[in-house]
């Protein structure tokens, strides 16, 4: 017996008929066609399936789709704007923070979540923010650098705009 749910995904509302035990990661990938959200460990340990749900970073493999009914989600596909990479995505490319790419969607969302909460996070805050995301290629140094670079850029833009 399927359950009807509605999700706000990257600014658009969508309806789905899901199985009662279906995980949000499966709904996003298989029903919404948003394959940027990766399925890794299936136990909430690797961060590859991270999404921002109602303003909180969550591992979508631990969320039943039925319990997310009505939620607003941001997936990695929603980070880019009008087909252009976001400043954080551009920093990941520029800093070489993308190796095999499997952890990248979760790392990007962890970075966006952190930057939505702190204007100028320090290295310890950045490391803590991405601690729930495993990079099998050990690319943490470059990922931290990309987040730090984006924080600095956003801070400068914000300061410049306030000074006008």
Q: Using the Cα atoms of residue 30, residue 33, residue 35 and residue 38 in order, give the sign of their dihedral.
A: negative
State the pTM of this model. 0.93
Secondary structure of 103-133 in the HEC alphabet?
CHHHHHHHHHHHHHHCCCCCHHHHHHHCCCC
Q: Where are the domains of the chain?
A: 3-78, 87-159
Q: CATH says 3-78 is which class?
A: alpha beta
The third-level CATH classification (topology) of the domain covering 87-159 is: DNA polymerase; domain 1 (1.10.150)
> What is the pLDDT tens value at each position of the chain, 164 positions in all?
999 999 999 999 999 999 999 999 999 999 999 999 999 999 999 999 999 999 999 999 999 999 999 999 999 999 998 889 999 999 999 999 998 999 999 999 999 999 999 999 999 999 999 999 999 887 799 999 999 999 999 998 877 777 66
CB 72 within 8 A of CB 62: no
């Amino acid at each position: 017996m399927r359950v009807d749910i509605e999700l706000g995904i990257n600014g658009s509302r969508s309806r789905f008929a899901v199985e009662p035990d279906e995980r949000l990661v499966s709904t996003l990938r298989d029903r919404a066609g948003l394959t940027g959200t990766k399925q890794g460990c299936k136990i909430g340990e690797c961060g590859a399936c991270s999404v921002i749900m109602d303003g909180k970073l969550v591992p979508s493999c631990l969320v039943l789709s039925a319990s997310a009914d009505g939620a607003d989600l941001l997936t990695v596909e929603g980070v880019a704007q009008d087909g252009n990479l976001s400043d954080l995505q551009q920093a990941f490319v520029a800093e070489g923070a993308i190796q095999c790419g499997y952890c990248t969607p979760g790392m990007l969302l962890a970075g966006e979540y952190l930057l939505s909460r702190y204007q100028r996070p320090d290295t310890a805050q950045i490391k803590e923010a991405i601690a729930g995301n495993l990079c099998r290629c050990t690319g943490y140094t470059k990922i931290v650098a990309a987040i730090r670079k984006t924080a600095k850029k956003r801070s400068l833009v914000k300061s410049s705009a306030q000074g006008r």
